[in-house]
Each structure stands twice: as structure tokens, then as C-alpha cells.
């Protein structure tokens, strides 16, 4: 029954709000990490993906997937990369379509269920490494969990473990949560960035992208109805959310996998805490610390790596030299 009852994360009492714990850590400069080695790989549909490698000659590599409107060079990605390098992992962070160094070539962008891109990144990593770990944040965590559970027999056999943080695994419930007045700041920030990408796409593909009244698109439901769903073959926003939310795929995961969702995460609705799935699947671990915010999980005092970085290393480093994971250690339980 791998629900981890007692998390080691202890947020500061001075910053006990989920909003503070989300915003404040994002303002910290990430720890120094070696500059990345960029690589661009072609996709099967004629587009490309931008990768950032950090190598130290290790025999294992961790593939990091960022969150909504992030990139491979986001601060929380660089912090995780530094922690993993220090712990004996090489690192491959990748940018979703439209989040890399240049605009992508096709009318489509990325979305919460586009696991074919993650699959190609993992295949690229597996060419050079026999042992792999996965780390995903928020939307990238949803991608990671969906990849592991939607076709478990097709998962890259070298993947030994995965860790995900702040995952909106019920996309419809999370969209409703973000539409609440208390989340207006985040909602506006994300949609402002997404609207900018739509305008850029409209310049590339004026016959495909209609930007009339774009400023009136002020919720994720409106954005996904108008752009995400039709561009990617879904009927509407609800169809997209239902097909791509990762919670439905958790029962089929067989790679040891940890999901950490803070109970005070302002982005996550109650439906994003899959206790039943963790109780029923011995390979799927759920940890729900009382604090941490959304992709925050700061350490206090703020010196050294974030708690989330130490937790990811702890879980992934249960991978032994033979690249297999011992579940008892992974769970943190006796």
C-alpha cells in the first residue's frame, strides 16, 4: 500500500501559504550547473525537439520534462539537473514544441498528453545509456505518468524509476481550480504567454490559426476549446482533458514511480490526489506533504538544493548497480 504517510518535507511556518510556497522559490537563483550541450532532433512528423544535455561520464541518465510554458532551461529544471549530476546521473532536459530555442515548424504546439514526443526523447537517451530515470514537473509530470501507464508494455525497458511533482493528473478538475479568483495571477500569466504563441503561429499559418477576439480567451477551457483541441484532433476541451489526464493510466504503471503533490498546491483540486490508485498499485507511490506549493518544495533555511531535488535523488538512487529498484527502499517505508 504505497501511500507515503509521513513526508520529510517541512515548510517554514513563516511561509505557510501555498501561494507563497509557489512564488517565493521561483524567485531564487538556481544552483550552478555546467552549461548544457544543445542538440536538436527531428520528430517523426517533420518537426524538431530541442534537448539540453549535461554529461559527466555517468552510466545513467535522467530525462527531465518541464511544466506549462517552461523550458529545459527553467530554474527548477536547472536546479534538478545540478542535484542529479552531483548524485551520479547524467541529465537530458528537453523543451516541448514551441518552448525551445526557435519556433517549431508545424501548426501544432505541445499539450498535456503528447507522449509521442516524450517517447522520442527517451529513445534518443536510450541510444547512449542502458539505465534511465524520469523526472517530470506539473504538465511534464502528467506526460511522464501517462507515458508510463498508457502502453506499459511499450515503455523503454531501460527505465528503472520515475519521480513527478505537482501533477494535475485530473486535467478537467485542475482547469476548474485555475479558473478560481484566487488563482487569477497564475491564470493570467500562463494565458498571456500562450496567447503570444498563438499569435506567432498565426503569422506562420494564417490559414489555420484565427486570432480574432484572442484577448477574450481568459480561461483554459476557452483556450483549449478554441486552439488546443482542434489543432491536436480532440473534439473540445473536455474531450482533450478526459483523454490526456494521467490519473486513468496510473493503475497500469509497473515502473517504480513516485508522485509528490503538496496538499496546499493552489493549482490542484482534490481529484488530483490519487490515493486509491496508490493503494492498489504496488509500483505507484503517492506522497502528499502538507506544504510545498506548486513546484516549490523549498528547503528552509534556503541553502543548498530544494527538498524536491533531494527527494528525487533519494528515490532515483534506489536504483542499484544492476539498474533495478528495490521497492521497500523506494517507498521510504520500513
CB 137 within 8 A of CB 260: no
- Show the domains of the chain with their CATH numbers: 3-170+247-331 (3.40.50.1820), 180-244 (no CATH)
DSSP, res 227: I
Spatial contact of 253 and 148, defined as CB atoms under 8 Å apart? yes
Give every CB contact of residue 248 below 8 A, 6+ residues apart in sequence.
Answer: none
Cα(158)–Cα(41) distance, integer angstroms: 20
* pLDDT at 9 > cutoff 90: no
Quote the percentage of the chain above a pLDDT of 70: 93
Position 301 confidence tier, pLDDT thresholds 50, 70, 90: low
pLDDT band at 18; cut points 50, 70, 90: confident
Q: Are 51 and 150 in contact (CB under 8 A)?
A: no
Q: Tell whether the model's pLDDT for residue 17 goes beyond 90.
A: no
Label residue 71 by pLDDT band (50, 70, 90): very high
Q: What is the DSSP-derived secondary structure letter of residue 195?
A: H
Query: Does residue 224 surpass a pLDDT of 90?
Result: yes
- Alpha-carbon gap, residue 207 to 204, rounded angstroms: 9
Containing 197, the helix (H) or strand (E) segment is helix 184-204
Strand order in the sheet with 131-137: 3-4, 284-287, 257-260, 159-165, 131-137, 60-65, 90-95, 48-54, 37-42
pLDDT of residue 325: 38
C-alpha R_g of the chain? 19
In the chain, what percentage of residues exceed pLDDT 90?
81
Checking if the pLDDT of 333 tops 90, the result is no
Strand stretches in 45-180, DSSP E? 48-54, 60-65, 90-95, 131-137, 159-165
Residues pairing with 257 in the sheet: 162, 284
Q: Is 63 a residue whose pLDDT tops 70?
A: yes
Whether pLDDT at 125 is above 80: yes
303: confidence class by pLDDT, cuts 50, 70, 90: low
Q: How confident is the model at residue 15 (pLDDT cuts 50, 70, 90)?
A: low
Distance CA 101, CA 71 (A): 9
Separation CA 221–CA 316 (nearest Å): 36
pLDDT tens figures, 188-212: 999 999 999 999 999 999 999 999 9
User: Cell digits for 90?
Assistant: 547524467
pLDDT tens profile 251-279: 999 999 999 999 999 999 999 999 999 99
Q: Which three cell numbers stand for residue 216?
A: 477574450
94 has pLDDT over 50: yes
Position 326 confidence tier, pLDDT thresholds 50, 70, 90:
very low
How far, in Å, CA of 39 to CA of 54, rounded?
11
Q: Give the single-character DSSP code of 228.
A: I
Q: What is the mean pLDDT of the chain?
A: 91
The pLDDT assigned to 302 comes to 63
Distance from C-alpha of 16 to C-alpha of 39, rounded to nearest angstrom: 40
What's the gap between Cα 3 and its chain centre? 20
Mean pLDDT of 155-177: 97
pLDDT (mean) for 103-124: 97
Which residues, listed in sequence order, are joined to residue 132 by a DSSP beta bridge?
61, 159
The whole-number average pLDDT for the span 104-126 is 97
For residue 69, the 8-state DSSP code is T
Cα separation, 268 vs 42, in Å, equals 34
Which of these ranges, 1-15, 66-80, 224-238, 246-260, has the smallest mean pLDDT? 1-15
Task: Tell me the average pLDDT across 141-163.
Answer: 97
Mean pLDDT of 226-247: 97
Mean pLDDT, residues 75-86: 95
Amino acid at each position: 500500500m504505497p501511500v507515503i504517510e509521513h513526508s520529510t518535507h517541512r515548510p517554514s511556518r513563516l511561509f505557510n501559504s501555498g501561494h507563497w510556497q509557489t512564488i517565493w522559490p521561483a524567485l531564487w537563483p538556481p544552483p550552478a550547473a555546467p552549461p548544457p550541450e544543445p542538440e536538436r532532433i527531428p520528430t517523426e512528423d517533420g518537426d524538431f525537439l530541442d534537448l539540453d544535455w549535461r554529461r559527466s561520464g555517468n552510466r545513467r541518465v535522467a530525462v527531465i520534462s518541464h511544466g506549462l510554458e517552461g523550458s529545459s532551461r527553467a530554474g527548477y529544471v536547472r536546479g534538478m539537473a545540478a542535484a542529479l549530476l552531483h548524485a551520479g546521473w547524467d541529465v537530458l532536459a528537453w523543451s516541448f514544441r514551441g518552448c525551445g530555442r526557435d519556433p517549431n515548424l508545424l501548426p501544432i504546439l505541445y499539450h498535456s498528453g503528447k507522449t509521442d514526443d516524450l517517447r522520442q526523447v527517451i529513445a534518443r537517451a536510450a541510444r547512449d545509456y542502458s539505465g534511465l530515470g524520469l523526472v517530470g514537473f506539473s504538465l511534464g509530470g502528467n506526460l511522464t505518468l501517462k507515458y508510463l501507464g498508457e502502453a506499459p508494455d511499450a515503455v523503454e525497458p531501460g527505465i528503472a524509476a520515475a519521480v513527478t511533482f505537482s501533477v494535475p493528473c485530473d486535467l478537467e478538475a485542475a482547469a476548474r481550480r485555475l479558473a478560481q479568483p484566487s488563482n487569477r495571477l497564475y491564470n493570467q500569466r500562463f494565458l498571456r504567454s500562450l496567447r503570444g504563441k498563438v499569435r506567432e503561429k498565426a503569422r506562420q499559418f494564417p490559414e489555420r490559426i484565427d486570432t480574432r477576439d484572442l484577448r477574450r480567451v481568459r480561461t483554459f477551457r476557452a483556450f483549449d476549446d478554441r486552439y488546443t483541441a482542434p489543432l491536436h484532433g480532440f473534439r473540445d476541451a473536455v474531450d482533450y482533458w478526459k483523454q490526456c489526464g494521467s490519473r486513468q493510466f496510473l493503475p497500469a504503471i509497473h515502473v517504480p514511480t513516485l508522485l509528490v503533490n503538496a496538499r496546499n498546491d493552489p493549482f490542484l483540486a482534490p481529484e488530483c490526489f490519487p490515493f486509491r490508485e496508490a493503494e492498489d498499485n504496488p509500483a505507484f507511490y503517492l506522497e502528499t506533504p502538507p506544504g510545498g506549493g506548486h513546484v516549490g518544495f523549498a528547503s528552509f533555511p534556503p541553502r543548498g538544493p530544494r527538498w524536491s531535488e533531494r527527494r528525487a535523488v533519494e528515490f532515483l538512487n534506489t536504483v542499484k548497480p544492476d539498474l533495478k529498484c528495490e521497492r521497500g527502499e523506494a517507498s521510504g517505508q520500513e
